[in-house]
Structure 1
Amino acid sequence: MKNTLTLDMQSVQGTMLLPLWGRAEYSKKNPEILDDQKAIEIVENLDFDFSEIGRNFGEFGGLCYIIRARKIEDKIRDFIKIHPKATIVNIGSGLDTSFSRIDNEKIHWYNLDMPDAIEFRQSLIPDSERNSCIAKSFFDQSWFDDIVYNKEDGILFVSGGVLYYFKDEELQEIFAAMAKRFPGAEVYFDAETKRAIAFSNRMVKKTGNKGAMMYFYVNDGKKIKNWSPNIQEVECIRYFKDVKSKKSWLFQSRMQMFMLDKMRMMKFVHVKFKSE
């Protein structure tokens, strides 16, 4: 029997299904980039018609989702090589399945998301001893107290496709608080320029979701560096850096990747907080 979808599709939480679709559909075709068997299983067993999402986002959108997941996972892998007992906090985790591919049997992983999103997630992806959920808003700083970690073992915050939906002043406040509470921590997330955000909003509207508009953009890392004196370093990395395009991909997809990287319209942002 298939799982019935109860998520409000006219909301930010409704966007959980977009990367799920992308990872399931395009990891089948590109397992060398991402092999997300759990996403494939969830989509196959979810009572929801994904065809409209597929028509609206197409190949390029699907490739962006698997590349984003792979790049974030690679960053986590690099981090736990240095910090094998690290704590990873996935902000706005949605239906992310990275833990299953990254776990070294030593890390501790937290999935932070809104209560309705976590309820839906747990109906499909149960918690485990070292992979648990926190059902709170990112801006409810009480979640800080839910994170149990050893500073010496390192802590990395990651977020994929989430921070876009918030405003600068909201993010500045929470980042400043995090930098103070978690000295020496690192944050890794994806972002777009102001011009790219406008295009992304048009794409989301095509899906019929008018309740998930995007606001936050990063033209360069200077504004984030100025959010707090406890932010030590901000680096921006091109989104498609080191991604080898395949001849089987549409010419349009390959050209979009090339042009967006050349213009630095899509990127990953790596933030480091100062140590005490």
Structure 2
Amino acid sequence: MSPAPLNPVSTVDAAPVLCGVPQTMLWTLHNRATESLRPDAWFRDPEAERIFQSIAFDYRAHFGRPDSSHATRSQMFDEALRPWLAAHPGGMVVELGCGLETQFQRCDDGRVRWLCVDVPDAIAVRERYLAPSERCRHIVRSALDLSWMDEVEASKGVFVTAQGLFMYFPEDEVGRLISAMAKRFEGGELMFDTIPRWFSRKTMDGFDVTRHYRAPPMPWGINRDEIEAALRAWSPHIASVQHEPYRRFRTFPARLGLWMAHIPPLAKFLPAIVRVRFARE
């Protein structure tokens, strides 16, 4: 049974009409908000709760039982970002493929400058629930349109995040994008997530999450033991690469990943969270 809402809202909107990759913003919202609404939650996201309760949408029918995966991912990104913000007061965070992610609202330290970058359909939905501000600007652009980089003021440091994004791009586009960032943002950082090759193939064949929802194709998959070599092949400006599997799940069989992570021959087949530091010239 889903937990009862903790923060009732006065109005409920009709579900936004979305398809393809932009619709995944409702999937990730479902997983983050339902974890946050649990009485025993290990991840709190009040703004996700508010938006989740504000949209008249049958999340369970479309996306199935929440598995906490996206809450885990967001928590791991938050845990990496908060110390960086403390070390780079007034630095800039660029959130590629922002959708309805509420990391700015969770991590805002009163000084950070933030750019939310996404395609027009996604930004239009975002702005129904999350207004831009002087320190949290919305950029209506695909991450693959490198002109978003011209909006970045990097003098106090740059941290680029891409949650649930790169797997939807062809591999050569991922390489081009990461190479451009590494060259442009000297000393900056990038954090993103990956899916293994077997799961990429599954989505390309047609992955039905439920009978009401088929996940978009995810053409870029990479095994964990291939990540660092791929990044260094794409760019000579990579200073360091770290990666780790997701730390927790609530549902089976996803929880098997916690066991597989300790077995090297199997660990490479798990999704990963990757953190990259770009070199200084």
Alpha carbons 1:239, 1:261 under 8 Å: kept = no
1:104-123 → structure 2 map (5 Å cutoff)? 104-123=109-128
1:104-143 → structure 2 map (5 Å cutoff)? 104-143=109-148
User: How far apart in 2 are the matches of 1:212 and 1:261?
Assistant: 30
* Partner of residue 197, structure 1: 200
User: How far apart in 1 are the matches of 2:151 and 2:171?
Assistant: 25
User: How far apart in 1 are the matches of 2:167 and 2:113?
Assistant: 26
1:237-252 → structure 2 map (5 Å cutoff)? 237-240=244-247, 243=248, 249=250, 252=253
Alpha carbons 1:27, 1:35 under 8 Å: kept = yes
TM-score, length-scaled by structure 2 = 0.85
Unaligned runs of at least 5 residues, structure 2: 1-10
Count, aligned residues: 263
Relative to 1, partners in 2 of residues 1:192 and 1:54: Cα closer, same or farther, differing over 3 Å? closer
User: How far apart in 1 are the matches of 2:211 and 2:188?
Assistant: 36
Alpha carbons 1:33, 1:67 under 8 Å: kept = no
User: How far apart in 1 are the matches of 2:160 and 2:185?
Assistant: 10
* Partner of residue 268, structure 1: 273
* Partner of residue 13, structure 1: 22
1:21-60 → structure 2 map (5 Å cutoff)? 21-29=30-38, 32-55=41-64, 58-59=65-66
Measured after TM superposition, the shift of residue 73 of structure 1 is: 0.7
Aligned-residue CA RMSD in angstroms?
A: 2.2
Alpha carbons 2:117, 2:140 under 8 Å: kept = yes
Alpha carbons 1:22, 1:65 under 8 Å: kept = yes
Percent identity for Structure 1 against Structure 2: 27
* Partner of residue 225, structure 1: 232
Measured after TM superposition, the shift of residue 162 of structure 1 is: 1.1
More moved, 251-260 vs 35-44: 251-260
Q: Which amino acid aligns with 1:213?
A: P
Could you say what secondary structure the match of 1:29 adopts? coil
Relative to 1, partners in 2 of residues 1:88 and 1:207: Cα closer, same or farther, differing over 3 Å? farther
Could you say what secondary structure the match of 2:115 adopts? strand
Unaligned runs of at least 5 residues, structure 1: none
TM-score, length-scaled by structure 1 = 0.87
Alpha carbons 1:25, 1:40 under 8 Å: kept = yes
Relative to 1, partners in 2 of residues 1:99 and 1:30: Cα closer, same or farther, differing over 3 Å? farther
Relative to 1, partners in 2 of residues 1:180 and 1:256: Cα closer, same or farther, differing over 3 Å? closer
Alpha carbons 1:260, 1:266 under 8 Å: kept = no
Relative to 1, partners in 2 of residues 1:69 and 1:31: Cα closer, same or farther, differing over 3 Å? farther
State whether structure 2 residue 80 is matched by structure 1 residue 75.
yes
Alpha carbons 2:182, 2:237 under 8 Å: kept = yes
Q: Which has the higher helix share?
A: 1
Relative to 1, partners in 2 of residues 1:207 and 1:157: Cα closer, same or farther, differing over 3 Å? farther
Measured after TM superposition, the shift of residue 34 of structure 1 is: 1.3
Measured after TM superposition, the shift of residue 4 of structure 1 is: 2.4
* Partner of residue 258, structure 1: 259
